[in-house]
Chain A
């Protein structure tokens, strides 16, 4: 292992470019003679569209066109698809509405795009958008997750007669309830998993250019990999051949799950560019990002667990309500089942399980994948249950976990909904966290805080994830004449540091200089045919293994060429550190690459070139896990909470670059801190978004960031040869339950039994007030 190989804390090679303004985000791209789009958005959460009058707008200065939903219908543009398919136990399929790119007859959430204006300048487009007059017939709306399934609630889609999308179930409800009733101890938690605004730094953006002669379209947009967008745009929406549609994302300012989706505005920009045969550009502003980017989370969970006298849990019931918003987004509806469900009961061996999920429509923007995508919600449920169980039985929080962990001897371990866990040292990982946090010395610190009038608490959360989803991915490696190696990846680095990590892998496997490896991604014209993109912490495994497979194929080919050059047999040639050797003679990889371009130097019958395109395919994901400990202090008079210490121990398998993994941990923890402490989307009863700017939405600031000690307990994954497990989502899984556990610890001493996220000062203060009123 060299200075730049696997496991080295190599500095990110992309950082100098990004930090010195060398990034090329979509808004940095300007196409010749481009015109600008602006959108007319619905001010109502639910309303019939009676008429759209664009006459005045069309006659304004610089206005080129105004399009409405009807124009799309007339032009034969397709609809936004969702391919989920769930059924109720009685056989009735899920309710699936048609989602038009811009609705013609009715709008169903505030911020929905209803018309598009194209003009010579952005200001003219905006002025004209304000002049588009829409006559609405306003209807009652419903935004609340808790009440959308109530009898008499306004219906988002009246044709279904209900807001419920499907009642999906797993397990035997009667049996589980009987076992819960018979259990020695039964605990229950009622939880709200708060809705979040995802807030990538870069607002949504699109620019599109149409080449009429070739009938081909190029769309620039932030993304998490363009292939799916290309397929959707070509096949479903604009009805073009996929090879005629190219998606380019140079740099993307944060993905977090929501940037992998196809949004109406992107379709519209592409549509207009084709229709007008002129480049069209749109950059959304922050306010548009708030109302029209997909939101995250938004579940209500009621969960019960039955335990024996020794604290062994044997039965679990989880009932989940999920707010998916006004439409079915691409993945929103799947998250409790396929995101979280497959991992429940998380790290614990609980044989009996009933799971009920009720996704619902409301008059809000859709929810969809957000850092962790269902797994943070699942872990949150299990960790709150374990803390409740510990309290009910008078066990310590670490002991109840220890008694219920799935052990290494039980692996491979099949979860109820179909994951097979291959590896993990859950007890050892937890112990590392407890030791690093001086868990046993806590009571002295609690007493010290109490002497200053403060309530101190310490919290523990363990968690597991499934990472590396859709484990199929292509990778292409090309040798340049100057000795450089270029990788063409279908994964797409939008902050993760693939330029660095893939270069480390090429350095490790082929001995090519770290600085001579270049990555090209984010372009459907150059990425391998099989490319899914970057999400769900998959790139280390699928991209990393792609580099490994390509390297292996290149070494195999290279040995034949080297044998020919060295006049020996391929079997006698060994490859090490970039050099092919046979006894005392040798030839470098660069020399072999050069020879491979020259037919006279190649063995007979061998095709020219050393380049390789491979497809890595796996049956299974990998299972990162960890244990976090959080210590904090509460000012009981104000409810203000301060995190004093944060320990994150992660088992993300073999660590390719600790520097980069630490970055992932810090970022994930910070997003978890945001969910736990400050972030919350609030709609009023009429469906207006009240938390529609950073003046009202509690985005965590640098000052909220605790000092984090990030440690590893490396247990190599058995599901891939690199031994890697995902690292991106761990922090967001661990932080909310660790913080809530600490607050529970600080406040249970004064009689607070329940509190929900986000832990705003007022919420904490009220919980303390109510407990002291009860105590009095």
Chain B
């Protein structure tokens, strides 16, 4: 680890101010991704701005047709939340299957979303549940937020404050865990909003994506058979030493169908 200056931000404005004024700063949330990166000397920020002391950034609420999870809420809290389990059980299930207990108690939704790891679970939750990413500056639709491999629409000085998930009629998240890392090799969030359907896939590609053909088929008939034969081309997918692109493509179809099976 290289040396850095540590700051504990008093509030979001303080964090944002430091982010714009300091040399090469980084926000610190749960540290589950950032700290290993620093320990492996793969990054050397001049300053870390810790959000842990900002009370406003913690907590969960149901507001109208939305579940609002504030940025510093750890995965374990989302998983165990009675409100989430009632209003949006698929989100609780998603959060409860991230990593291991230690990671779930430290890692936060804000950190996960800001990182846009191609294998992370929350991106599928955000896109599949038509979420809005709220920052200190604006509101960004999840569809416009995740731009690529570790790339988001966040700008310098921008801090995620909460994520607002639209409550669907029904939803289900199915995950195939990576044999080594436990992250998603394929994670599929299927959600039904009246006549509309959303199918978001994480893990398989360089960034979360929607499968338009599946959504259209489900909008015609919301049944497992509708997606059972729809294939995503392996060409746009990733492969590694455990799971090839072809296998991931196969799994997307299987997990989408299983998610729908669980919903009907």
Contacts and interface: CB of A to CB of B under 8 A. Distances in A.
B179 A691 contact: no
B5 interface: no
Contacts of B1: 123
Interface stretch (B161-169, B197-205, B239-247): B239-247
A697 B244 contact: no
B179 A287 contact: no
Nearest to B180: A698
B179 A761 contact: yes
Contacts of A762: 242-244, 247
Interface residues of A, number: 25
A678 B247 contact: no
A659 interface: no
Interface in A622-642: 637-638, 640
A75 B242 CA distance: 47
A694 B254 CA distance: 27
A348 B243 CA distance: 39
Contacts of B182: 701
- Residue of B41, B182, B241, B254 with most chain A CB atoms under a 10 A cut-off: B241
Contact of B180 (A127, A678, A761): A678
A286 to B, nearest CB: 10
**Cβ-closest 5 pairs across A and B:** A698-B180, A695-B181, A762-B247, A698-B179, A682-B241
A637 B180 contact: no
Given A678-B179, A695-B183, 10 more contacts: A637-B254, A638-B251, A696-B242, A701-B100, A701-B182, A760-B179, A761-B247, A762-B243, A765-B247, A766-B247
A696 B247 contact: no
B40 interface: yes
Nearest to A700: B179
A561 interface: no
Interface of A: 123, 126-127, 130, 287, 637-638, 640, 678, 680, 682, 690-691, 694-699, 701, 760-762, 765-766
Contact of B242 (A637, A699, A760): A760
B231 interface: no
B92 to A, nearest CB: 20
Interface in B1-52: 1-3, 40-41
B244 A696 contact: no
A127 B3 CA distance: 11
Interface of B: 1-3, 40-41, 100, 176, 179-183, 240-244, 247, 250-251, 254
B181 A694 contact: yes
Nearest to A699: B180
**A contacts with B: majority SS:** loop
A683 B3 CA distance: 33
26 contacts: A123-B1, A127-B2, A130-B41, A287-B40, A637-B254, A678-B179, A680-B241, A690-B241, A691-B241, A694-B180, A695-B180, A695-B181, A695-B183, A696-B180, A696-B181, A696-B240, A696-B242, A697-B180, A698-B179, A698-B242, A699-B180, A701-B100, A761-B247, A762-B242, A762-B244, A766-B247
B181 A638 contact: no
Contacts of A640: 176
Nearest to A287: B40
B181 A765 contact: no
Nearest to B240: A696
A419 to B, nearest CB: 37
B41 A126 contact: yes
Contacts of B3: 123
Contacts of A761: 176, 179, 243, 247
Contacts of A765: 247, 250
A65 to B, nearest CB: 22
Contacts of B254: 637-638
A512 B176 CA distance: 56
Given A123-B1, A637-B254, A696 B243 contact: no
Contacts of B176: 638, 640, 761
Most central of A637, A678, A691, A694 by chain B CB within 10 Å: A637
Contacts of A698: 179-180, 242
Nearest to A640: B176
A766 B240 CA distance: 16
Contacts of B247: 761-762, 765-766
Nearest to A126: B41
A334 B242 CA distance: 31
**Chain B CB within 10 Å, residue with most, of A130, A678, A761:** A761
A569 to B, nearest CB: 68
A695 B185 CA distance: 12
B240 to A, nearest CB: 7
Contacts of A680: 241
A455 to B, nearest CB: 16
Contacts of A766: 247
Q: Which of B3, B179, B250 is most buried by chain A, counting CB atoms within 10 A of its CB?
A: B179
Contacts of B240: 696
B125 to A, nearest CB: 22
Nearest to A697: B180
B241 A696 contact: yes
Nearest to B176: A638
B229 to A, nearest CB: 14
Contacts of B179: 678, 698, 760-761
Contacts of B2: 123, 127
A127 B244 CA distance: 38
A766 B247 CA distance: 9
Contacts of A699: 180
> Which of B40, B100, B242 has the most chain A CB atoms closer than 10 A to its own CB?
B242
B114 to A, nearest CB: 19
Residue picked from B100, B180, B243, B244, most chain A C-beta under 10 Å: B180
A231 B60 CA distance: 64
Contacts of A287: 40
Nearest to A682: B241
A637 B228 CA distance: 12
Contacts of A690: 241
Nearest to A762: B247
Nearest to B244: A762
A127 B41 CA distance: 10
A194 to B, nearest CB: 12
A761 B100 CA distance: 21
A475 B65 CA distance: 75
Nearest to A677: B179
A292 B192 CA distance: 51
B98 to A, nearest CB: 14
Contacts of A123: 1-3
A485 B100 CA distance: 45
Nearest to A695: B181
Contacts of A126: 41
Nearest to A702: B100
B101 to A, nearest CB: 11
Contacts of B243: 760-762
Nearest to B248: A762
B248 to A, nearest CB: 9
Nearest to B39: A285
B188 to A, nearest CB: 13
A733 B183 CA distance: 31
B193 to A, nearest CB: 28
A203 B1 CA distance: 18
Contacts of A127: 2
B262 to A, nearest CB: 15
A773 to B, nearest CB: 14
Nearest to A696: B180
Nearest to B257: A637
A690 B181 CA distance: 14
A317 B181 CA distance: 40
Contacts of B244: 762
A695 B103 CA distance: 14
Nearest to B179: A698
B41 to A, nearest CB: 7
